[in-house]
Structure 1
């Protein structure tokens, strides 16, 4: 009888952990949706090349009269300037 009680206890504990995981995932999905709704445009680049380190990727923005590094050596440098118009990005992979 003690083995059966232990089995039921572990099963209930597993259900509690599973429910907590689902609740956290649900809240995370809500948060992702909120964050995504705050941006008008999104630039996504997907690569099938494995093993690219973050420090090997550099992103450069350039406008009419300015060039600005967004990331360099895997480190965030600064935000985009507050200007209207066309945005051009160059992405370098070492």
Structure 2
């Protein structure tokens, strides 16, 4: 489970993976993904909500699912920030 989001909307959201431990084992990986800057002195526009990734294993099959919450914007079809989140 993630920490409470500190987004401007201040909704107190969290993201979590709920799974059946009889079928899937936690692999030890858990973290939030943050985009790195191209240069040391530059800020990077981050996702609307920080993606959360965890490692699991089902039998011999490893998997690393990741959440994503894409910026919705004003509901227009080609919102530039939304398209950037998707890209």
Q: TM-score by structure 2 length?
A: 0.30
Greater helix fraction, Structure 1 or Structure 2: 1
Q: Answer 1 or 2: higher relative contact order, Cα 8 Å, separation at least 6.
A: 2
Q: TM-score w.r.t. structure 1 length? A: 0.28
Which structure has the greater CA radius of gyration? 1
